[in-house]
Structure 1
Amino acid sequence: MIVKSLVLKNYRNHTNTRLVFSDRFNIIYGDNGQGKTNILEAIYLCASGRSHRTAKDSELIKFGCDSFSINANVFNIGSLEKDIEIKYYENQKNKLKINEIPIKKIGALMGNLYAVLFSPEDLFIVKQGPTERRRFVDITLSQIRPSYFYNLQQLTKILKQRNTLLKNINSNPKLMDTVDIWNIRLAEVAASIITARRTFSKMLSNLAESQHNFLTEKSEKISFDYKCSFQITEDDDKNKIQNLYIKSLEKTLSRDIILGYTTMGPHRDDYDIMVNGKSLKLFGSQGQQRSAVLSLKIAEIELIKRETEQYPVLLLDDVMSELDNNRQKYLMESIKEVQTFVTCTSTEHFENLLSGESNFFKIVGGNIQCSL
């Protein structure tokens, strides 16, 4: 998959920026705060429907303006061309188009562009709580399986409605009769999400193990294990998981009513990242954590390729300076067939790393000062 060009209008600090990209490497460089990451963010938005830096679309509008637009021209296998257009007007929903055809739901955006983002903040996958790990999995799964994204949306809606019910039961005990209905609806959606996450984690773990084995010269073994918030086994199918979840909801109902929210379910799931059988978060060094995240990101690229038969584009946001020479070389060796976008403050890192066609863009104050 290739992003041929990108046009940004009133996006962050870009007034009217147009970039035509190389099919291989695109180095976007300049001082900090000039708008380099904004370009990667816009590509990522076209792939995932969301920014990796903010949940508020209003923050993406250039100061003093009331709207922004993004246009990405994308080619995939078979040279099928797609024009992805995202427009946002202040206090309104995004207006999306694929090849000039309006799409109403953001889920329809999924699958038109696959992207993997790698930034220094990805260490949060290891260092911070389960929210970061769920987000990492959910974004990738949503790109390759739009139905998964739909299920996540349904989960959020049903949880909100069930939580409202739980809060109102004390003042209106008759509402207890409706809990079973919401339990069933919640379990139906949850079972689909859980089975998808379980399958994904197995695939990612196997691919990451292979990458990490090579990166660490067989000195470390990595695993990425799914931890459901209630007890399930490897052999449990979707129907069994649904029934197990309903039973768990029944057992925790009294606690949920007291607290006013649902304490068990996919929104509480986690993933264990282990190296040589030990928790990477608790016992891993900074270097081990960086190596693990690098292995996971390369594994993510390979997983998308296997699932979709297309490589995603790779967005490297200021990560080269975070990696030592060996990790830099390993990364560049692993992405030979992947269109890659890199932000950096200096091009020196790439003098001996790049092979093949490459474009260089210098960004100053949201403008392209020169393109080499």
Structure 2
Amino acid sequence: MRLKSIGIENFRNHRHLEFDPGQRITNIYGCNGSGKTSILEAIHYCALTKGFSGNSDRDCLMFGEEVFTIRSSFESDQGSETKVAVAYAPSKEKRILVNEQELQIFSRHIGLIPCVTFTPRELVIITGGPAERRRFMDTAICQYDRKYLSDLLQYRRVLQQRNALLSSYGDLAAVETSLEVLTDQLVTHAVEIVAARERFISSFSVMLDEVYRWQPDCAKSAITYHSSLHHHETQLSKKEMQAQFSERYRVLKKQELLRRQTLAGPHRDDLQLYLNGREIRKFASQGQQRAFLVAMKMTMHAYLHEHSDEMPVTLLDDLFSELDAKVSSVMLETLSSKGQVIITSTEKRDGNDITYFSIDEYRKTSGQER
């Protein structure tokens, strides 16, 4: 998959911008605050229906304007074209059109355009709380497994209902009856989610260790999945897992009624990341943590390619300010054979077969000097 072109109107600090990247590595360079990251964010909107910065749609609307639009064209590895358009106005909410057909359910678009990102803020995947690592895992699996995405959305819906019930002050007998029904539904989706995550991590961890070997320190990496609902000493069938999950909620029932929230499930699970057998979040240097995250992203690229038969579009925001020269050089060489890669930097990067886009020059020639 590759991006052929993208046009942006009133998005972030871009009143109007047209961008046609190269087929391999494209380096967007310019001074801080010039809008380099905003271009990547617009591409991410077209691939995954939202930005990667965590900001709301409203935050991406240029100040004083009523609507932003993004129009893009992608070409698959088989040569077919996909046109994606995104429009957002606070009064009408967001609209997404794929080949001129409006999407009623945005989740159906996930996976059509596989995409991998790296931004400095994503270091929280390594250093932050479990929610960041779950998001990494879910973003990967959802791009190739539509059933997983469906189970995840259904689980979240039931979890919200269950938490609302636990928080209510209704008749205890009535609460317990309804709780039993919602728990059964929660367990059904939890089993599918945990089983898919375990399959993913089992394969991903092996691939990660192979990818990590290009790092200068040649350390051994590993990832394990930690479920809040069961232990992993033995591989369980889905039927056994369902029975174990149901028992776990039975044991937790009194605590959940007291604390008025669901205390276990996929929404509380975590990944544990290791380098040479030691937990990286606690013992690795900041440089090792950055290199580990890059390896995770490279592994996600390889994993998505293997499972979707499409080479993902790779978006790397300010990557080289976070890595030393040796790792940066090795990574550029590695990326040269990984399909389309779009990189932002403050300075023009040297390298073979790189397409360059100076955002400062673009603003001058298009009459949009700040």
Q: Shorter-chain TM-score: what band?
A: over 0.9
CA deviation vs aligned residue, 1:183-223 (integer Å, no higher than 9, x gap): 111111111111111111122211110121232353x1000
CA deviation vs aligned residue, 1:141-166 (integer Å, no higher than 9, x gap): 11222332222221221111001111
Corresponding residue of 2:358 = 361
Tell me the TM-score normalised to structure 1 length.
0.93
Corresponding residue of 2:342 = 341
Tell me by how many angstroms 1:169 deviates. Answer: 5.1
Corresponding residue of 2:131 = 131
SS in structure 1 opposite 2:187? helix
* Residue identity opposite 2:345 in structure 1: C
* Residue identity opposite 1:369 in structure 2: K
Corresponding residue of 2:22 = 22
Number of aligned residues:
364
CA deviation vs aligned residue, 1:46-71 (integer Å, no higher than 9, x gap): 22222221252111111111221111
SS in structure 2 opposite 1:65? coil
Task: State the 4+ residue runs in structure 1 displaced beyond 4 angstroms.
Answer: 169-172
SS in structure 2 opposite 1:32? coil
* Residue identity opposite 2:344 in structure 1: T
Q: Quote the RMSD (CA, aligned, Å).
A: 1.7
Corresponding residue of 1:266 = 266
* Matching of residue 231 in structure 1 with residue 226 in structure 2: no
SS in structure 2 opposite 1:21? coil
Q: Summarize the Cα distance change of 1:325–1:357 in structure 2 as closer, same or farther, 3 Å threshold.
A: closer
Corresponding residue of 1:83 = 83
Instruction: Tell me if the contact between 2:184 and 2:246 (Cα under 8 Å) persists in the aligned partners.
Output: yes
CA deviation vs aligned residue, 1:112-131 (integer Å, no higher than 9, x gap): 21111111122211111111
Percent pairwise identity: 28
Q: How does 1:277-356 map to 2 (within 5 A)?
A: 277-337=277-337, 338-347=339-348, 350-351=349-350, 354-356=351-353
SS in structure 2 opposite 1:211? helix
Gap runs ≥5 in structure 2 = none
Instruction: Tell me if the contact between 1:142 and 1:149 (Cα under 8 Å) persists in the aligned partners.
Output: yes
Provide the rounded CA distance (Å) in 2 between the counterparts of 1:357 and 1:216.
Answer: 24
Larger CA deviation: 37-46 vs 264-273? 37-46
Corresponding residue of 2:159 = 159
Instruction: Tell me if the contact between 1:125 and 1:133 (Cα under 8 Å) persists in the aligned partners.
Output: yes
Instruction: Tell me if the contact between 1:298 and 1:334 (Cα under 8 Å) persists in the aligned partners.
Output: no
Provide the rounded CA distance (Å) in 2 between the counterparts of 1:237 and 1:47.
Answer: 35
Corresponding residue of 1:98 = 98
Instruction: Tell me if the contact between 1:36 and 1:363 (Cα under 8 Å) persists in the aligned partners.
Output: no
* Residue identity opposite 1:358 in structure 2: T
Q: How does 1:169-188 map to 2 (within 5 A)?
A: 171-188=171-188
CA deviation vs aligned residue, 1:62-114 (integer Å, no higher than 9, x gap): 11112211111000121010001111121443211110011111111112211
Tell me by how many angstroms 1:344 deviates. Answer: 1.0
Provide the rounded CA distance (Å) in 2 between the counterparts of 1:146 and 1:49.
Answer: 15
* Matching of residue 249 in structure 1 with residue 249 in structure 2: yes
Provide the rounded CA distance (Å) in 2 between the counterparts of 1:36 and 1:360.
Answer: 10
SS in structure 2 opposite 1:50? coil
Tell me by how many angstroms 1:370 deviates. Answer: 5.5
Tell me by how many angstroms 1:277 deviates. Answer: 0.7
Gap runs ≥5 in structure 1 = none
Tell me the TM-score normalised to structure 2 length.
0.94
Provide the rounded CA distance (Å) in 2 between the counterparts of 1:215 and 1:179.
Answer: 50
* Residue identity opposite 1:137 in structure 2: M
